[in-house]
Amino acid sequence: PASGEWEDLTPERRRLVGFMALLMSERKSGGSPPDQQAGLASSQVSIILDWEKMQRRMEDFAVTSSGILLSPGEARTALCTAEILPVVLNGKSLPLDLGRTQRLFSKAQVRALQAAYRGCSYPGCSMPAQRCEADHLDPWEKGGRTDIKSAVLNCLIHHTARHCGLFQAVKIPGSRPMVLLPPELDPEQKLRVNTYFMTPAEALEAEALAEESTARWRAGLLDVEIAEP
């Protein structure tokens, strides 16, 4: 606010401004004064930038991990003030596949999964990626590998539900894993994806791919693998 306007703010708004200032301050849990203060939890929001869409000046070139579209100005602001954590999708520059060297997914792998899938895999689930768990599609105890292509994100409820056999994850060559619901929920038995966190254009494209994959699977033209519970 301009000079003299602070006292005109309501108490609720003053508290909000003060709280936002605390969130934006850089405090550390260790070190010497004045940095030696109680550490504050910092939020982390992934922003996915589509280079090809940006080159073509499309409106949906920047989207958050929760599916919120950003304007060019908002994207530039984030680049100015945020701590940038580059995530390379479909690239070879990061060691994202660990094979049998360890059972748990690494931070780099989880960050890549969060950027790629944005939320729980179950169709219609609104749980964001940051509150989901990385789920092995190849059981580790049966020789499965800790690899990106064999992983999905599931919230706690749907992670447990998948392992209880209440729905199935389906591995699709060259695509994100899809979901096959039980016949009582989906008599048509279509392959499905969760479009909750996608932009409208991304959702249409994902649904079209799911329809195409279903048709090719039924015709015996697509070699899919249904993951074990």
Residues 36 and 75 occupy one common structural domain: no
Sequential DSSP letters for 80-97: HHS------SS-SSS---
Residues 221 and 151 occupy one common structural domain: yes
pLDDT, greater one: 74 or 120: 120
pLDDT, greater one: 122 or 139: 122
- Residue 55 placed within a domain: yes
Residue 205 has pLDDT above 50, yes or no: yes
Say what the pLDDT of residue 22 is. 64
The Cα–Cα gap between 217 and 223 comes to 7
Residues 128 and 174 occupy one common structural domain: yes
Residues near 136 by beta carbon (within 8 Å), at least 6 away in sequence: 144, 146, 150, 151
Residues 72 and 144 occupy one common structural domain: no
Residues 196 and 113 occupy one common structural domain: yes
Task: Work out the end-to-end distance of the chain between its first and last CA atoms, rounded to an integer number of angstroms.
Answer: 56
Counting residues of the chain whose pLDDT is more than 70, the rounded percentage is 76
pLDDT, greater one: 2 or 54: 54
* Domain-terminating residue out of 63, 81, 99: 81
The Cα–Cα gap between 153 and 118 comes to 8
Q: Residue 192 is encoded by which pair of tokens?
A: 């499905």
Say what the pLDDT of residue 89 is. 57
Residue range(s) defining the domain that contains residue 53: 47-81
- Residue 69 placed within a domain: yes
- Residue 166 placed within a domain: yes
pLDDT, greater one: 125 or 142: 125
Residues 180 and 134 occupy one common structural domain: yes
- Residue 99 placed within a domain: no
Residue 46 has pLDDT above 50, yes or no: yes
Residues near 126 by beta carbon (within 8 Å), at least 6 away in sequence: 119, 120, 196
Average pLDDT, rounded, for the chain: 80
pLDDT band at 172 (very low <50, low <70, confident <90, very high): very high
The 3-class SS string of 120-164 reads CCCCCCCCEHHHCEEEECCCHHHCCCCCHHHEEEECHHHHHHHHC
Residues 38 and 52 occupy one common structural domain: no
Residues 75 and 179 occupy one common structural domain: no
The 10s digit of each residue's pLDDT in 138-159 is 888 788 888 888 899 999 889 9
Say what the pLDDT of residue 71 is. 84
Count of domains forming the chain:
3
Burial of 129 (0-12, 13-18, 19+ CB in 10 A): buried
Residues 24 and 62 occupy one common structural domain: no
Point out the least confidently predicted range of 13-22, 54-63, 86-95, 177-186.
86-95
Counting residues of the chain whose pLDDT is more than 90, the rounded percentage is 35
Residue 9 has pLDDT above 80, yes or no: no
Residue 67 has pLDDT above 90, yes or no: no
Q: Which of 152, 172, 150 is nearest to 162 (CA)?
A: 152
The Cα–Cα gap between 119 and 114 comes to 7
pTM: 0.68
The 10s digit of each residue's pLDDT in 68-118 is 888 887 877 776 666 666 555 555 445 577 788 888 888 889 988 998 899
Rounded to whole angstroms, what are the CA distances from 191 to 117, 125, 216? 16, 16, 11
Rounded to whole angstroms, what are the CA distances from 128 to 99, 136, 185, 214? 27, 18, 23, 26
